[in-house]
Copies of this chain bind each other. A is one copy, B any other.
Amino acid sequence: MNRIQSLFGIRWPIVQAGMIWCSGWELASAVSNAGGLGVIGAGSMYPEVLRDQILKCQAATDRPFAVNVPLIYPAIEEHMQTIIERGVPIVFTSAGSPAKWTPLLQAKGIRVVHVVSSVKFALKAEAAGVVAIVAEGFEAGGHNGREETTTMCLVPAVADAVKIPVLAAGGIHDGRTTLAAFALGAEGVQIGSRFVATPEYFSHRAFKGRIVDAAEGETLLRLKDLTPVRLLDNPFSQQVAAAEEAGAGVDALRDLLGRGRAKKGMFEGDLTEGELEIGQVSGQIKFIQPAATIVEDLVAAYQGFTAGMEDPHFRW
């Protein structure tokens, strides 16, 4: 049992990313029931929706699960109040400074994990008292760091810099990529894209189908002048690229983005006008599979590799 397993009280050090539109209770409870850590993505939920999702998740599993809260969320006090009231044991924070909320939550017995894209922010999060760090590389879907540091470069750098355990994110989806993450110094993995291609993920089935069809090179980082975000290629993403190529300013990009683009794409399944946030690894995801199968297959493959590393592939 490693530090991530102990900290979270889970069988396998595998975390399902709390993605907007949407990681809901079905996915989170399925992953937790399979021995990983399921995470509800609160960033796209109204406070009453989050409350309902937590209640349903608690009814569906006796095991630990977490909620991911972007720290820029406007009604963050209500979210945190719900989390404290409902006794959610673990909170993942992202997109902001963990200095304010970490002590408040941890005083209530809630363990806080912060998601970072650089060593600089990892050190700040450690100083704020979080119990673990998610080091998320450039290849990850959705919002992304300006340094563009990849998982291969970021994870060893963060693992060297902090004393608390590190989870690797970005490009991880199976046993071999999990072994790579552990080789780089991670003590756990956070997996996003692969868990979107599940029956339990409550995004639109058109979005899931698009992920399974995605080819290599079909995701690119866009909107770098606003907040960098990795998007799957579609007419909306091409519009953004054309505007950026023409030298559009921040206001023009914000107008083009408008409101509700992510909901339209991922939740309503509008593959033309919607924003489709997904990782580079989508090019390798070819099936929709139950979350429990993903966890079981990953663990079996990982343990196959590490059972004495007898595989001659590793011997030279």
Where the two chains meet, the residues of A that have a C-beta atom closer than 8 Å to any C-beta of B are: 1-2, 5, 12-13, 118-120, 137-139, 146-153, 156-157, 160, 170-172, 174, 176-177, 179-185, 187, 216-217, 220-221, 245-247, 280-281, 283-284, 305-306, 308-309, 312-316
How many copies are assembled? 2
B120 touching A216, Cβ below 8 Å: yes
For A244, the closest partner residue in chain B by CB is B247
Question: Can you give 22 A-B contacts (C-beta < 8 A)?
Answer: A2-B312, A2-B313, A5-B316, A118-B216, A120-B216, A148-B221, A149-B283, A150-B150, A150-B170, A151-B152, A152-B171, A152-B177, A177-B183, A179-B180, A179-B314, A180-B180, A180-B184, A182-B314, A183-B183, A183-B305, A187-B313, A247-B247
- CB-CB under 8 A from A181, the residues of chain B are 180
B246 touching A1, Cβ below 8 Å: no
Told that A139-B153, A179-B314 touch, could you supply 13 new A-B pairs with CB distance under 8 A?
A: A2-B313, A5-B316, A138-B138, A139-B149, A149-B216, A150-B171, A153-B284, A156-B176, A176-B183, A177-B183, A177-B184, A182-B313, A245-B247
Complex Cα gap A183–B309 (Å):
11
- CB-CB under 8 A from A220, the residues of chain B are 148
Q: With A5-B316, A119-B216 in contact, is A152–B139 under 8 Å at CB?
A: yes
| The 7 nearest A-B residue pairs measured at CB | A147-B217, A247-B247, A152-B171, A180-B180, A179-B183, A180-B183, A150-B150
Complex Cα gap A31–B223 (Å):
43
- CB-CB under 8 A from A174, the residues of chain B are 156
B182 touching A170, Cβ below 8 Å: no
For A282, the closest partner residue in chain B by CB is B153
- CB-CB under 8 A from A180, the residues of chain B are 152, 179-181, 183-184
A153 touching B183, Cβ below 8 Å: no
Q: With A118-B216, A147-B216, A216-B120 in contact, is A152–B176 under 8 Å at CB?
A: no
Q: With A216-B120, A216-B149, A221-B148 in contact, is A283–B247 under 8 Å at CB?
A: no
- CB-CB under 8 A from A2, the residues of chain B are 312-313, 315-316
Contact of A176 among B185, B216, B283 (CB under 8 A): B185
- CB-CB under 8 A from A12, the residues of chain B are 316
B118 touching A149, Cβ below 8 Å: no
- CB-CB under 8 A from A13, the residues of chain B are 316
- CB-CB under 8 A from A176, the residues of chain B are 156, 183-185
A157 touching B187, Cβ below 8 Å: no
A139 touching B147, Cβ below 8 Å: no
